[in-house]
Structure 1
């Protein structure tokens, strides 16, 4: 069952893809943000002698990285792949040809 049929048209028009280069950049941004906030949180928690401060800062970094990397922002969709066109299926082509020829022969019989 396809649930997209129940969505309003405005939601269907929102792009929800990310190219491969964008995925790579999003992963790198995520890792850098988590490491930076982890290091800063560890240092601040050590200074304050409060492990909870470390966790709050790390959670803030996680939330920021999720906001920046999970949605398919336009900066992650700059290099889309050019896919090749699908080759026609020979079985379907022969079915179309045979059905077209049978329909034309039926029309010619009706004319007589």
Structure 2
């Protein structure tokens, strides 16, 4: 393989890694406002929450007054989904891909099934 091809591949890998890092630390849907989990649960019980977008342990919340914030599930809460559905909160769950899988799948000819 020529030196030019090696340099091109190296720069492509660096670019993909940098894009991944910026995407991970970029702004979230909630405009950066964070609320503790117990406040989130209180607002759900008081029928103030319209939508909950669940991304792993992160929840992006849209209230009925259109305010948004982010909260984090501190522990496994098996009652959370039932509670949200009982209170007619729209639940959206996103499939999380690992960063390594995303990086590998960006190369031609590679397949990642995560």
TM (norm. structure 2) is 0.29
The structure with more strand, counted as a fraction of residues: 2
Bigger Rg, which one: 1
* Higher-RCO chain (CA-CA 8 Å, sequence separation at least 6): 1
The structure with more helix, counted as a fraction of residues: 1
